[in-house]
Structure 1
């Protein structure tokens, strides 16, 4: 009967050190950590390795349930898989322990709140994007265009080819093609 830890952060500039320390303090013998979004279980190889490796009587520990999943569907699938294998799930910062009825109940409630929080964040992001678009300061992902598209189109209309335009303007041919494509119907 082993105790395994799982630590996760969403972006590469975040650090799992605090989670790992808490998991060690909780008695985790092996800790798997990764820097991946929690909105899906896709591509989370460390989590999958841990779930595949855990055996009947083992326990997987996380610091908080949102480190494991951000949607009810993913959380339910993970918990169901662990229960079928006889593996318990515990959280160090929340009263979650799937080996008890109260712990399972609290887990389900927190899962609902984690998904709600994710949906709220997504709504706020979309509202911000809509507001920026309405103000004319958002044109999609990436930085604002720095290539004078009108100059590219002018040179192309004068019969100059994309390679020659790129050389003259000291830009890439792809930038030339993008500028010309933006002008197309």
Structure 2
């Protein structure tokens, strides 16, 4: 699988199942990545991102981890610095295609990485604040209903009263067993 050192290893991520990884995968392949790790996962934290963990485990001294955009790797400065620290400890460089100055092998690249990471986190924080303000305003005006329930607790209870167990109810309704337990407890 590996052919010596100096390998370009790509990492691609989109936030939801409705998004496509194709554009990132193509850009990483065009940049010369011999192996690409890709996943559909939210980026609030690097925790629980299996393919990112696999990529970080895979890279070896002399390799370069490549992403298309910085926000594909991390949204928080803390996560970004932890990931870069892991790469640095392994003597692996980091490169970002759309922010071409971000190459951790140079002092300027390290500075750009810190600045861009802080900007990305700032933008994310602003987005969350605006969303929370919008929800609060809509609630105050009586326009916000929240998300519609995905299951009917009465239907769950009815099936349970008919003698079905939680696993059978979950299969019947196409929901998780934990949802059945929550509906029964309500």
Interval containing the TM-score (normalised by the shorter chain): 0.7 to 0.9
CA–CA distance in structure 2, aligned partners of residues 142 and 98 of structure 1:
46
Runs of 5+ consecutive residues of structure 1 not aligned to the other structure: 148-161
In the alignment, structure 1 residue 131 sits paired with structure 2 residue 137: yes
CA–CA distance in structure 2, aligned partners of residues 59 and 111 of structure 1:
19
Matches within 5 A, 1:97-108: 97-108=103-114
1:135-164 residue CA offsets vs partner (Å, 9 max, x unmatched): 1122433259x99xxxxxxxxxxxxxx75x
1:20-40 residue CA offsets vs partner (Å, 9 max, x unmatched): 111111110001100101111
Task: Normalising by structure 2, report the TM-score.
Answer: 0.77
Q: Which of 60, 63, 73 is the aligned partner of 1:68? A: 73
In the alignment, structure 1 residue 53 sits paired with structure 2 residue 53: no
1:65-92 residue CA offsets vs partner (Å, 9 max, x unmatched): 1100000000000000000000000011
Match of residue 38 from structure 2: 33
- After superposing on structure 2, the runs of 4+ consecutive aligned residues of structure 1 that deviate more than 6 Å are none
1:85-120 residue CA offsets vs partner (Å, 9 max, x unmatched): 000000111021001111111011000011001101
Report the secondary structure of 1:32's partner residue. Answer: strand
Match of residue 122 from structure 2: 116
Q: How many residues were matched structurally?
A: 157
| Larger CA deviation: 123-132 vs 135-144 | 135-144
Report the secondary structure of 1:33's partner residue. Answer: strand
Report the secondary structure of 2:36's partner residue. Answer: strand
Radius of gyration: which is bigger? 1
CA–CA distance in structure 2, aligned partners of residues 130 and 34 of structure 1:
33
Runs of 5+ consecutive residues of structure 2 not aligned to the other structure: 1-5, 163-172, 174-178
Report the secondary structure of 2:45's partner residue. Answer: coil
Report the secondary structure of 1:116's partner residue. Answer: helix
